[in-house]
Amino acid sequence: MGITVVRIWAFNDDVDIWNWNTLQTAPGIYQEYVFKALDYVIAKAGEYDIKLMLTFTDYWGAYGGMEQYVQWDNQYGSDGNASRNIYDFYTDSDIRGWFKNHISTVLNRTNTITGIKYKDDPTIFSWEIANEPRGLGTQEGKMGYYNWVKEMTGHIKSIDPKHMVSIGSEGFYDKEPGSSDFKWNGSKAMDFIRDNQLDSVDFATVHIWPEPWRMAYEESMAWLQEHISDANNILRKPLGVEEFG
């Protein structure tokens, strides 16, 4: 089909409805046969000269993701602070440690087929810390989210300075605090410009879902153009339009 870059998940966490082929069954506990399946995907992509973007977790819970880490915190947490909701993913010390360990495990894995460490594999186009991470729009929530982005992207770079890193966010702004439009008012904690200005972020991302976001065609095109303009003129970084529908 002429595809050159594919974005895939580098996780599958144990949740009741999706616990088949689970990669990580508990913090730091992996099923080797599932990891070998990921080895195979990377090896085959290399054969066909396809580059892969690998994502470490997901805000949405279909394959575990952030929600599963929060559940694990209530099972295995050692800091005495049981998590109350998904937004604790960004600030809880146990969860941050487990997630950094997962990142380290993936980066340092040696592919059982090619013999190449993931962090050294030219088949990998980039790393992405999460799919559509969202936080709370309070000042504390915004800072927790920003500090998490800074910590996790920096952690990746400390292990693998060769590959590019992105956030994986939908690209919401914090330009209009009083607006009722969640895409602009900072209510999801992120700020497209602030977050992507980090030195540890190599390119920005944006998603566009006109129907669920109730956007007309003209507004959708304006949304993309805003990001293109900001990426060119402010961030001075490339922009990846990762999802659209």
The CB density around residue 193, as the number of other CB atoms within 10 Å, is: 17
Task: Judge whether 47 counts as a catalytic residue.
Answer: no
> Which amino acid does the sequence have at 60?
W
* Active-site residue, from 132, 151, 211, 242: 132
Q: What CA–CA distance (Å, rounded) separates 122 from 120? A: 6
**Sign of the four-CA dihedral 218, 220, 223, 228:** negative
The CB density around residue 64, as the number of other CB atoms within 10 Å, is: 24
The burial of 115, by beta-carbon neighbours within 10 Å (0-12 exposed, 13-18 middle, 19 or more buried), is given as exposed
- In terms of Cα–Cα distance, which of 75, 64, 73, 71 is closest to 20? 64
Cβ-proximal residues to 139 (8 Å cutoff; 6+ apart), any chain = none
Task: Judge whether 132 counts as a catalytic residue.
Answer: yes
**Sign of the four-CA dihedral 213, 217, 223, 227:** positive
* Active-site residue, from 47, 128, 211, 243: 243
Task: Please say whether the beta carbons of 24 and 12 come within 8 A.
Answer: yes
- In terms of Cα–Cα distance, which of 154, 168, 170 is closest to 126? 168
Which are the catalytic amino acids?
Answer: 132, 243
